[in-house]
Structure 1
Amino acid sequence: MTKLIIQIPCLNEAEDLPNTLAALPRRIEGIDTIEILVIDDGSTDNTAQVARMWGVHHVVRHRTNRGLAAAFQSGVDAALRAGADIIVNTDADGQYAGEDIETIVRPVLEGRADIVIGDRGVGDNAHFGPVKRLLQRLGSAIVQRLANVHVSDAVSGFRAISREAAQRLNITTEFSYTTDMLIQAGRKRFAILSVPIRTNATLRPSRLFKSIPRFIVNTGITMARAYTTYNPLRAFVGFGLVIAFFGVVPVLRFLWFWVNGGGDGHIQSLVIGGVLLMLGALVAVFGVLADLMATNRKLIESSLTRLRHIEARLPQTAEPEEPVIANQRKGAA
């Protein structure tokens, strides 16, 4: 029996949610059960009530708004507890075509991928403006480099995840899960595929960010943090070598003047160079320590994965406590 759970993070989506739910598939070849999970991330409207009225199987509620990344992780955790073999994440605003869920699920179902990203064709998507196209392409190129994966639309939220991959992913960012997830998945050597999908025009602005500059800054911080977390030795040692290189230059300058009998007037070059060399070495040592901590984190993540396996075998006897409240409805379409 293969169960697919489609999760939809929501923030004040009572108006758009019914159309999104109506477009979701109820049958997919190779899938025995399809269930829908809505994550209400502290909405001030009646998003949760609308979800229940439309027969959603699972509703997860945050009492306060905790952000898209937290909503995504809460949804994944709830889907795993509900026995999902494949998890699909989609948006509540109807940007993604519900018919394409079968397209992104198929590679996971056939065992060809652990994670499938829906590619919106950012280079020529008619629903994107020129600035957004440029930023999407640039961001995807950077993520591909950092994660060492080939994904042409790195920030697409339309993605399918196998149960095994979901159990091993741990989103830690507070802004957006998309880039963090890909860098993490690349580091853990998951099989990742991109498949072309269709998009619909959205009339309202994004609720994830208030301006493009803010989005760029937050995404950049997320990528740098994720890369440093999963590649600490390379990040810190590389940065330390750059600092040390700038320290070598004034030291060589001092030596040049010293050899030619004029070193007394250029002591400041020796001091500056020595400080930079020591700083570079110190940063490199931090890299070694961070790499040892990363090894410890891998052991913790391995224990967490095993714990999730154990939880999946236990009967669901109680609802999760705050900050997540889950309400399950059976027998819904």
Structure 2
Amino acid sequence: MTVAKPSPARRARTALPTIVAMQPQPRPLRLIIQIPCYNEEASLPETLAALPRAIAGVDIIEVQIINDGSTDRTVEVARSLGVDHIVDVPVNKGLSNAFMAGLEHALAKGADIIVNLDADNQYNANDIPRLIAPILERRAEFVVGDRPITTIAHFSYLKRLLQLLGSAVVRMASQTTVRDAPSGFRAIARDAALRLNSFDSYTYTLETIVQSGLSGIRIVSVPIGVNGETRPSRLIRSIPQYIWRSSKSILRTALVYAPGKFLFRLSLPLLVAGLILIGRWLWLTIDGTDRAHVPSLVAAAGLLLTAVMLWVAAITGEQMAINRRLLQDIQYRLRKAALPPLLERDDAGDDQQP
């Protein structure tokens, strides 16, 4: 018996369709270099000229300035030099506000990594690839440039000492290994930038390190180079004022992000001193002294009572810290949801007035 074969047309109609899986194309990695500016028309051209135009592992490099209420031609100079984004703050609100406004705008423009540096060209821009390398290698989310403090010619001996001492205090408060806490040359991954806050009107440098270290953001340091001094620092106008305001920033941030640990450690010297006085009073009493030593007993009671009050405050602070962490997580999710979808390219040069 002969079996008829189906015609070619019928075979084409009954063949199962072939499904070709399309591989998703990787989204280009975007780096935005942000520069807070306040009356920087003289130094901005040199700073912009030093920025790298291509970096291995980065597909798109854009430059953004934050004009913090400048009264000179900073914005005009930036536009003439082809800056991609300008964040315009109409009134001078300080470095911390400019830094946060820049982060918000860079995130909205789709930045995967944000590099922050000063407009006075004090940092060596050739070290930007070294700065972002830990983020590209997934070893960190936050990288701080470590200047050679002890060899910077225009730093006085006192300024070097204060920089090293201040960084040591920040390391203890933040539980990190950051060697140059006041450095403004830093790289921040997108997810870490969504979690950062700065409430200090003076500077963002110390607060963001303490916050990151105590919030679980992976932060490291890398050595960087510096250029010669182009103008005096606008942040450190007076050494005593800088010490006072920096100390307040560290203490306030430690109280906000680790109140229990901070207050408990603060109570330990009082506890030890109170126990020593109590022990002395008991020893003298058992030894049969003729004096009552009431002042020692009163002082011991005061010290121990203060220590107990700090313990109560520490417990209350820890409860508030739990609520703060929950609110911070909600803030992170809201910030992330509010961002526009990440696109391969977007319009550049749009001004924003926060």
> TM-score, with normalisation over the residues of structure 2?
0.84
Matched, 1:325 2:353: yes
Partner of 1:4, secondary structure, is strand
CA contact (8 A) 1:254 1:263 kept: no
CA contact (8 A) 2:121 2:230 kept: no
Deviations 1:125-184 (A, max 9, x none): 334333222222222222222222222222111111100111111122222211211122
The one of 43, 46, 49 equivalent to 1:16 is: 43
Unmatched runs of 5 consecutive residues or more in structure 1: 327-333
> Hey, what does 1:298 align to over in structure 2?
325
Matched, 1:280 2:307: yes
CA distance in 2, matches of 1:137, 1:254: 42
Following superposition, the deviation at residue 18 of structure 1 comes to 1.6
The one of 170, 175, 182 equivalent to 1:155 is: 182
Following superposition, the deviation at residue 232 of structure 1 comes to 0.9
Deviations 1:20-46 (A, max 9, x none): 112212222222211111112222222
> Hey, what does 2:113 align to over in structure 1?
86
> Hey, what does 1:178 align to over in structure 2?
205
CA distance in 1, matches of 2:249, 2:302: 30
> Hey, what does 2:239 align to over in structure 1?
212
CA contact (8 A) 1:255 1:263 kept: no
Following superposition, the deviation at residue 281 of structure 1 comes to 0.6
> Hey, what does 1:110 align to over in structure 2?
137
Residue identity opposite 1:185 in structure 2? S
Deviations 1:185-229 (A, max 9, x none): 212233323222221111311111311222122222212222222
Unmatched runs of 5 consecutive residues or more in structure 2: 1-27
Residue pairs, 1:1-333, within 5 angstroms: 1-260=28-287, 262=289, 265-313=292-340, 325=353
CA contact (8 A) 2:170 2:210 kept: yes
Residue identity opposite 1:134 in structure 2? L
RMSD of aligned C-alpha atoms?
Answer: 2.4
Cα distance change of structure 1 residues 111 and 284 upon mapping to structure 2, 3 Å threshold? same
CA distance in 2, matches of 1:220, 1:178: 13
Residue identity opposite 2:86 in structure 1? V
Partner of 1:151, secondary structure, is coil
Residue identity opposite 1:280 in structure 2? A
> TM-score, with normalisation over the residues of structure 1?
0.88
Cα distance change of structure 1 residues 112 and 238 upon mapping to structure 2, 3 Å threshold? closer
Partner of 1:117, secondary structure, is strand
Partner of 1:161, secondary structure, is strand
Partner of 2:181, secondary structure, is coil
Following superposition, the deviation at residue 260 of structure 1 comes to 4.6
CA contact (8 A) 2:196 2:208 kept: yes
Deviations 1:301-330 (A, max 9, x none): 10111011111236999xx99xx706xxxx
Following superposition, the deviation at residue 82 of structure 1 comes to 1.3
> Hey, what does 1:331 align to over in structure 2?
none
Residue identity opposite 1:145 in structure 2? M
CA distance in 2, matches of 1:2, 1:202: 33
Q: Percent identity?
A: 43
CA contact (8 A) 2:122 2:230 kept: no
CA distance in 2, matches of 1:29, 1:144: 31
CA contact (8 A) 2:120 2:230 kept: no
CA contact (8 A) 1:184 1:230 kept: yes
Misfit runs of 4+, over 6 Å: none
